[in-house]
Structure 1
Amino acid sequence: MDRNDFGQLVAALRKEVFDEDGNRLTQKELANRIAAERPATALTEVVIGKIERGERANLEADSLQDLADALNLTMGERHTFFLLGIGLDHPQIHPAFASEPALLDGVLQMLADIQIPALLLDHYLDIVAVNRAVLQLYQLPSSLITQLQNLPTNLNLLTFIFSPLFQAVRAEMPADSWHRFAVGNVIYFRRVSLPYRMTPYYESLLKELRRNREFRFFWEQALYEEKL
């Protein structure tokens, strides 16, 4: 990821953190938070401003660690954040050896052939495709499938599982199973969406998800339960 994009990512991650009064963290507050934990840090308010504007060409490992700590990143988010911070981008982190259409065709064929429940998601956890076993597992009625197909926006997995449309399925799950299912999906969402946190689509999606009280709960729980 180039410096400009990485700077925008840092700014977006900072704005996802709130202070005790419920206000988004400013550059100064982020710098103060870092200095309180590690007084020798190089990340002053001025330096953070330069990073967010894409004016810093190189970041030391300690600085990346300081940012990850202050931004409350999960373990999965940190792994991706560090790779992006040293200049790698998606094709380098996840190299592909075929064209995108060929890869998609292959995955769709796998979904059709596989006998266990499986679905294809993008990096926002928007649902691209599901196989028949998923429909059978959750016993989704044809009327619900029609509703989902006619939605005016992309069908997002998290939007779906925290919605009334999933309530009947959830009611069949033991409470601890639902908890693990929900927090596991939020942990995965936080990790795979990290390189795209500065995009308008992600901002719109997160704003919509955060309207849901349960999503907000599991978003915070992800910080404590990632090892489960």
Structure 2
Amino acid sequence: MAQKPFLEKFYSYQPEGEKKKILLALRSYTLSVDTAQRRMMITFSLDKIVDKAVLYEIEKDLCEIYQPHDCYIVPNYPSHLFSQQYLPHLIFELKRRTAVANGFFANSTAFYDENGGIFTVRLNNPLEQLPKDAGCEDILREIIQTEFNLQVRVQIQASGTFDAEKYFREHNTNTIRVALPPEKPAPVIRSALSEETAPAVINEDAPHIVIAGKMEFNISAPELIYGKS
């Protein structure tokens, strides 16, 4: 028995534009419903890459119309369509699964070694360990396997510098900042021969007497004064 077209199955849904175009282009779809949890998962079999953001909009529309608690659409593509060009879609999905992806993957690049089965994501910052510890490599590997039926090894590499202040500012991350007291100017230590004191003058009648401001120095019998070592 032939499968009903998606828009006939979900006849209450009347999308337009790009959303309708995607649904009309479906090769097939599978529907899984968890009535107890009120969750709906739909797999779309597609022959070309579509925008993840549009799929998320379809999810939202179906939730509003059919009132499930969750609706999750999984695209499924032929394996040969996968390449490093799919990185923005991977990061888009990764952000939905873990908040760690926010900011750390900005301006990242990717390389896919098809022969070796290795997909490398090169960050534009030096903090590779945090997304690794958060399981981002495994999540990306799972997304690729689910959407392209491919078994690849994902590795995250670091490069560049990381602007922590910019990251916290853009992502409203709660951080503890210590407010330092305003710096006080260093006290001015003035000596008898400071710039406010008149220059030293030698008494012409008594050359052994040096006058500096209001102070007189007898230099007729100088002696060495040693400080403690």
Q: Which TM-score band (shorter chain)?
A: under 0.3
Q: Identify the structure with the greater helix proportion.
A: 1
Relative to its length, the structure with more strand (as a share) is 2
TM-score by length of 1: 0.22
TM-score by length of 2: 0.22
Question: Which of the pair has more CA radius of gyration?
Answer: 2
